[in-house]
Chain A
Amino acid sequence: MSYIKPINHHPRLEKNKLGLTRRDYEGAISTLCAGCGHDSISACIIEACFQLNIEAYKVAKLSGIGCSSKAPAYFLNQSHGFNSVHGRMPSVATGANCANGDLLYLGISGDGDSASIGIGQFIHAIRRQINMVYFVENNGTYGLTKGQFSATNDLESKNKYGEDNLFKPIDLASMAIQLGASYVARSFSGDRDQLIPLIKGAIQHKGFALLDIISPCVTFNNHDSSTKSYDYIRNHNEAVGKTDFVPLGEEITTSYKSGSSVEVNLHDGSKIALEKVNSKFDPTNPGNSLNYIREKSEEGKLLTGLLYFDESSEDLHETLNLTKTPLNQLKQDELCPGEKALEIINESLS
């Protein structure tokens, strides 16, 4: 049972440009385990939407099946949600997106959903460059069915019962870069400062944005021999540098030392400022990114931050040459060729 929160707000809560408070972006009370990384991600989504002045009713939240896929119920109450079938959120999002490109599409998925049962749909959503933000709330385990290994679990990472994992992990972020996703970031549910700007950048980005977020499962995969526990990730993640999202028309005020940052323009005029900590790393070069991720992985480090970025690619609406008016708003006189045209068709078939 999802609970509805009281709707009374504290009168002095901070408001954004739409006059809304953070409470206005909340959802139902979470039924996930206390301390679940997914809840932190929901909180970051709420914060990002609040800061970006997003109109919640113009957002569609879609998910598959699993703990992560329950999450859309826990943020943006005024958005339509769609909890589809296991691993199939990408196809539902594709159809929904084609029907109306004016909405913001947030897809929430997990590692079981995206790296196993739905890997085909994950791949093809990237290939088609659906304009959406695709969250993988990645905990390396099947929580709802009580702790089986998932396909993103590291080889050396045991399960809660001490059993060995037999297979190498799939790295969804690397895969997404290879497939041509135009915005690929990795983060950690416990690092709000890193995650919120990444979410904001992804929302403003046009095209397929993947956020692979390590999100520890406190119940089944947070033990000492797990590589997706809070402790392990805190000790082993290495950021490519800080990322700041700078809205349109605002001055860049980052804490980076001068000359150590790079700015990337988004299609709507807003910017992402990247701190440059390593001269070897270039997030606009896919081959370079892939090598760097691999290098760090061999050192036992999990590379986080904005890993790859390409603002020039076209999205599915452009590829399909779709009309500006959303398909779901076209009227009958635009859709139906009518009696006269049918007479001509009949003639051609006689």
Chain B
Amino acid sequence: MLEPKSFQSIESVNDFVIKFANVNGTGSASANQMFAKAIFRMGIPVSPKNIFPSNIQGLPTWFEVRVSEKGYLGQRGGVDIAVAMNPQSYSKDIDEISEGGYLLYDSTWKRNFNRSDINIIEIPLTQLCVDSFKNPKQRALFKNIAYVGALSALMEIEYEVLEKIISEQFANKPSLIEPNIKALNLGRDYVLDNLDYPIGIKLSRRNLLENKILISGNEAAGLGAVYGGATFCSWYPITPSTSLAEGYEKYAKKYRVDEKSGKNLYASVQAEDELAAVGMAIGANWNGARAFTATSGPGISLMSEFLGLAYFAEIPLVIFNVQRGGPSTGMPTRTQQSDVLACAYASHGDTKHVLLFPADPKDCFDFSAKAFDLADQLQTPVFVVSDLDMGMNDWVCEKFDWDDSISYNRGKVLDYEDLEKLESYGRYLDSDNDGICYRTYPGTHPEKGAYFTRGTSHDEYARYTEDGNINAETLMRLMRKFRTASELVPEPLIEINGEDSCGIIFYGSSKPAVLEAKDILRTKNINVDLMQIRSFPFNLDVWEFIASHDRIYVVEQNRDSQMRTLIMAEGGISAEVLRPLVHFTGDPIEAAYIVNKISEREVNYKSHKNIKER
């Protein structure tokens, strides 16, 4: 039925980008997620990204899905298929479609789009739903399911997979299964009866995702906190971290309610603000419960005074910072890695904090659980620093694993028997010379072990002192403790790819883009060695990698190249060796961007080197 085309249609199997343009608050997200999940279930690597406004209802929202049989799951750029459901953003959405691409829109209201170089697929979605559903709410909602049904025919998504997802999703509300299936069929049957199908972009089962799961980093981190033994969560709502606290509560409700008594073996308190949130977590940790708070950039600013107290009084604490776009209120619903320095040196005075950088939801789970051990071992705040991209979007990652034989490491805590044996107790006596002293919990022993926790300068017995030398000794001991920390935190992951390679340092959610860029660069005869930083303080491996390269690109999603600054400041590394490669639009970094930046500079480097050598 299409007229003869003057352009070449895009043809591809399992390798494309589709973008859904919707109106915020119309129920599109679950339909779009269903689409992504179906592709995941067909064993094809997929990466859905929700691009949403800081708004509840009415503004444009997008959902972009990259499908890549090769497993490249970073943001790609470009749109091969657009499902345009929002007239408000039509012009932008349709402009974005690559030549030869496809546009599916709701043709209940026909439009002329002035693009003769793309395939236009017209489906009267609203009309179909109005004809089939009576309830106005359902009419609006099921448009979304109907286009998923249409796509299943157009792109050869396995129908049974979608059917199964629907029946699982509504297992608790079976009455909703039938109308959802009906809506799915509405779109699907319309295509089968009226349009040419399949289109040039198709899916084909591959089963490449054995041992893989699809989950968001926040939910994974919340689950990790349950596994890590956290019994107390205090938090204040802030995008994009809210779903982390909710994830914790979701799993705690399932696994932390005593069957006999019906009582909770956890507490989750929504605080009045971030100051109270971190204060409560500190109070609970001080009292020997594993406690955490989850926040995002502005929350870190607000918590900073308390963070200095926890650092100086040596109270364990786990803080999740799911970074968003800054500065100030910034871009609450966009991603960045721009709180690295704010976390590393949070609070006034000489403070330094332990940071963990997960790079996918599996890391979020692992590092979340590990953070509680580290915080207890080191008696200091431990930050798990992720970001909106991995925090709020579902990522394909390895299955979670857990070893029941490993016990929590509660660090140096003296119990009643330990105290009985002691002549005298000093909270800040560094008896093991690793900078870490022995804690006691309130209520342990009637005569021994009590001490006064304070943020004022104190001696080894926790007594207030204004003796500057004693305070200086405390500060030096805390440095000693920080060195101990560098031996306990996750080491960097290093990949060496041959002689004369340049280095790339990266961390967090830049990982998929960097891995893809590495492969593309190799096709351009540029070899790169990789170092994925997973924690701060940096350990020896980090310095060795840097010492063995004469030029290293530090890839990060902030303006000021904050990780580079941290490395330079902590290691005395020369600015010339570390070259900033930054991206800070709030959209996830793309491989192509990294490739362009590096090849440009590598060409310069090589020609410069050749001239020198000549």
CA distance A72 to B462 in the complex (A): 14
CA distance A199 to B282 in the complex (A): 27
In the complex, the chain A residue whose C-beta lies closest to that of B268 is A320
**Complex contacts, A128 vs chain B, CB 8 Å:** 269
B263 touches A323 (CB 8 A): yes
Number of interface residues of B (CB under 8 A): 72
B279 touches A334 (CB 8 A): no
Q: A92-B280, A328-B231, A346-B400 are in contact. Are A80 and B271 (CB under 8 A)?
A: no
CA distance A332 to B255 in the complex (A): 13
Pick from A102, A124, A332, A336: contact of B443, CB under 8 Å = A102
CA distance A115 to B276 in the complex (A): 16
Q: Does B604 lie at the interface of the complex (its beta carbon under 8 Å from any beta carbon of A)?
A: no
Q: A57-B444, A337-B227 are in contact. Are A92 and B283 (CB under 8 A)?
A: yes
A328 touches B450 (CB 8 A): no
Q: Does B338 lie at the interface of the complex (its beta carbon under 8 Å from any beta carbon of A)?
A: no
**Complex contacts, A78 vs chain B, CB 8 Å:** 446-447, 450
B403 touches A103 (CB 8 A): no
Pick from B265, B282, B285, B399: contact of A334, CB under 8 Å = B265
Shortest B468–chain A CB gap in Å is 13
Of B8-16, B186-194, B286-294, B498-506, the one touching chain A: B286-294
Of B140-148, B198-206, B451-459, the one touching chain A: B451-459
A73 touches B450 (CB 8 A): no
A337 touches B255 (CB 8 A): yes
Shortest B233–chain A CB gap in Å is 10
A95 touches B453 (CB 8 A): no
Q: Does A246 lie at the interface of the complex (its beta carbon under 8 Å from any beta carbon of B)?
A: no
Q: Does A175 lie at the interface of the complex (its beta carbon under 8 Å from any beta carbon of B)?
A: no
Q: A327-B289, A345-B400 are in contact. Are A95 and B279 (CB under 8 A)?
A: yes
In the complex, the chain A residue whose C-beta lies closest to that of B255 is A337
Shortest B424–chain A CB gap in Å is 12
A337 touches B226 (CB 8 A): yes
CA distance A333 to B275 in the complex (A): 32
Q: A346-B213, A346-B399 are in contact. Are A83 and B452 (CB under 8 A)?
A: yes
A124 touches B284 (CB 8 A): no
Q: Does B528 lie at the interface of the complex (its beta carbon under 8 Å from any beta carbon of A)?
A: no
CA distance A335 to B261 in the complex (A): 16
Shortest A262–chain B CB gap in Å is 35
A85 touches B305 (CB 8 A): yes
B402 touches A342 (CB 8 A): yes
Name, among A84, A320, A330, A338, the residue most crowded by chain B CB atoms within 10 Å (CB to CB): A84
Pick from B267, B445, B463: contact of A98, CB under 8 Å = B267
Pick from B215, B271, B291, B456: contact of A99, CB under 8 Å = B291
How does the 8 Å CB contact mask read for A79-120 relative to B, with 1 for contact and 0 for none? 111111100101111111111101100000000000000001
Number of interface residues of A (CB under 8 A): 62
Q: Does A312 lie at the interface of the complex (its beta carbon under 8 Å from any beta carbon of B)?
A: no
Pick from A92, A335, A339: contact of B403, CB under 8 Å = A339
Q: Does A145 lie at the interface of the complex (its beta carbon under 8 Å from any beta carbon of B)?
A: no
**Complex contacts, B196 vs chain A, CB 8 Å:** none
B255 touches A82 (CB 8 A): no
Q: Does A77 lie at the interface of the complex (its beta carbon under 8 Å from any beta carbon of B)?
A: yes
B400 touches A327 (CB 8 A): no
Name, among B251, B309, B442, the residue most crowded by chain A CB atoms within 10 Å (CB to CB): B442
**Complex contacts, B447 vs chain A, CB 8 Å:** 57, 78
Q: Does B438 lie at the interface of the complex (its beta carbon under 8 Å from any beta carbon of A)?
A: no
**Complex contacts, B266 vs chain A, CB 8 Å:** 327
Pick from A327, A335, A345: contact of B267, CB under 8 Å = A327
CA distance A324 to B263 in the complex (A): 8
**Complex contacts, A94 vs chain B, CB 8 Å:** 234, 269, 276, 279-280, 283
CA distance A335 to B369 in the complex (A): 12
Q: Does B306 lie at the interface of the complex (its beta carbon under 8 Å from any beta carbon of A)?
A: yes
Q: Does A314 lie at the interface of the complex (its beta carbon under 8 Å from any beta carbon of B)?
A: no
**Complex contacts, B267 vs chain A, CB 8 Å:** 98, 320, 322, 327
Q: Does A341 lie at the interface of the complex (its beta carbon under 8 Å from any beta carbon of B)?
A: yes
How does the 8 Å CB contact mask read for B246-284 relative to A, with 1 for contact and 0 for none? 000001000110100111111101011101111111111
Q: Does B401 lie at the interface of the complex (its beta carbon under 8 Å from any beta carbon of A)?
A: yes
How does the 8 Å CB contact mask read for A14-57 relative to B, with 1 for contact and 0 for none? 00000000000000000000000000000000000000000111
Pick from B277, B451, B463: contact of A80, CB under 8 Å = B451
Q: Does A321 lie at the interface of the complex (its beta carbon under 8 Å from any beta carbon of B)?
A: yes
B443 touches A321 (CB 8 A): no
In the complex, the chain B residue whose C-beta lies closest to that of A72 is B452
**Complex contacts, B275 vs chain A, CB 8 Å:** 88, 91, 121
Pick from A62, A91, A102, A341: contact of B255, CB under 8 Å = A341
In the complex, the chain B residue whose C-beta lies closest to that of A120 is B272
Shortest A173–chain B CB gap in Å is 21
CA distance A323 to B263 in the complex (A): 5
How does the 8 Å CB contact mask read for B411-448 relative to A, with 1 for contact and 0 for none? 00000000000000000000000000000111111110
CA distance A85 to B453 in the complex (A): 11
Pick from B212, B272, B279, B466: contact of A92, CB under 8 Å = B279
Q: A100-B443, A320-B269 are in contact. Are A328 and B288 (CB under 8 A)?
A: yes
CA distance A290 to B67 in the complex (A): 66
Shortest A67–chain B CB gap in Å is 13
**Complex contacts, A120 vs chain B, CB 8 Å:** 272-273, 276
B213 touches A335 (CB 8 A): no
A85 touches B455 (CB 8 A): yes
Shortest B507–chain A CB gap in Å is 25
Shortest B206–chain A CB gap in Å is 15
CA distance A327 to B444 in the complex (A): 15
A322 touches B402 (CB 8 A): no
A342 touches B227 (CB 8 A): yes
Shortest B360–chain A CB gap in Å is 13
Q: Does B408 lie at the interface of the complex (its beta carbon under 8 Å from any beta carbon of A)?
A: yes
B282 touches A338 (CB 8 A): no
Q: Does A278 lie at the interface of the complex (its beta carbon under 8 Å from any beta carbon of B)?
A: no
CA distance A74 to B446 in the complex (A): 18
A335 touches B229 (CB 8 A): yes
Q: Does B131 lie at the interface of the complex (its beta carbon under 8 Å from any beta carbon of A)?
A: no
**Complex contacts, B582 vs chain A, CB 8 Å:** none
In the complex, the chain A residue whose C-beta lies closest to that of B442 is A80
A345 touches B450 (CB 8 A): no
Q: Which residues from 279 to 332 on chain B have a C-beta closer than 8 Å to any C-beta of chain A?
A: 279-289, 291, 305-306, 309
Q: Which residues from 234 to 263 on chain A have a C-beta closer than 8 Å to any C-beta of chain B?
A: none
Shortest B397–chain A CB gap in Å is 9
**Complex contacts, A341 vs chain B, CB 8 Å:** 255
**Complex contacts, B440 vs chain A, CB 8 Å:** 80
A2 touches B463 (CB 8 A): yes
B264 touches A322 (CB 8 A): yes
A91 touches B309 (CB 8 A): no
Q: A1-B463, A96-B283, A349-B213 are in contact. Are A83 and B229 (CB under 8 A)?
A: no
Shortest A118–chain B CB gap in Å is 9
**Complex contacts, B453 vs chain A, CB 8 Å:** 80-83
Shortest A46–chain B CB gap in Å is 15
CA distance A94 to B284 in the complex (A): 8
A98 touches B284 (CB 8 A): yes
Q: Does A60 lie at the interface of the complex (its beta carbon under 8 Å from any beta carbon of B)?
A: yes
Shortest B235–chain A CB gap in Å is 12
**Complex contacts, B231 vs chain A, CB 8 Å:** 99, 327-328, 330, 335
Q: Does A296 lie at the interface of the complex (its beta carbon under 8 Å from any beta carbon of B)?
A: no
24 A-B residue pairs with Cβ-Cβ distance under 8 Å, sorted by A, are: A1-B466, A57-B445, A58-B442, A58-B443, A59-B442, A81-B450, A81-B454, A83-B455, A85-B279, A88-B305, A91-B279, A92-B283, A94-B276, A95-B282, A95-B286, A96-B442, A99-B284, A124-B272, A322-B263, A323-B258, A328-B289, A329-B288, A336-B229, A339-B403
Sample of 15 further A-B pairs with CB below 8 A, known A59-B442, A95-B287, A342-B227: A57-B446, A60-B443, A73-B452, A78-B447, A81-B450, A91-B277, A95-B234, A96-B283, A99-B289, A120-B272, A323-B264, A327-B231, A330-B265, A332-B408, A350-B212
Where the two chains meet, the residues of B that have a C-beta atom closer than 8 Å to any C-beta of A are 212-215, 223, 226-227, 229, 231-232, 234, 251, 255-256, 258, 261-267, 269, 271-273, 275-289, 291, 305-306, 309, 399-404, 407-408, 440-447, 450-456, 463-466
